Amino acid sequence: MLVSALFLKGVSNLEYFIFTSNKTTVKIRLNDIVYVITAAKPHQLKIFTSTRIYLTYGKLRWFKDHSKHLIFCNRSCIINLNDVLSIEKSTRKITFKTDIDIPITCSRNLYKAVKAAWLAI
């Protein structure tokens, strides 16, 4: 369940994301998020930071709307452009600066936009 973060409509570039995970209120910096993916359960999200994985409920669109460094790379994943180390052209696989070794691939439709945004920062 999202706590106060969803009620701040129209506010861009928030610094923190506050949510409830396993009956615990958690406050993390948006810049600490490496990527966010949808989980197997409907409306559930997995938030990956460099140190932990959090489960919460919400929408991916909220992250894109509230941080200029978070961008969709496919329908079910948002990545933090600051944490991208490389993007392989042939497979569209995204490698991160952290030790996370989960294969994240960019969709064919979003590849050019993601690469352009990553090179622009």
- Alpha carbon distance 43, 56 (integer Å): 9
Output the pLDDT for position 77.
96
pLDDT digits (tens, 9 = 90+) for 9-34: 344 456 888 988 888 899 999 889 99
Domains of the chain from N-terminus onward: 4-120 (2.40.50.1020)
pLDDT digits (tens, 9 = 90+) for 67-119: 889 999 999 999 999 999 999 999 999 999 987 778 899 999 999 999 999 99
pLDDT digits (tens, 9 = 90+) for 35-65: 999 999 999 999 999 889 999 999 999 988 8
pTM given for the model: 0.83
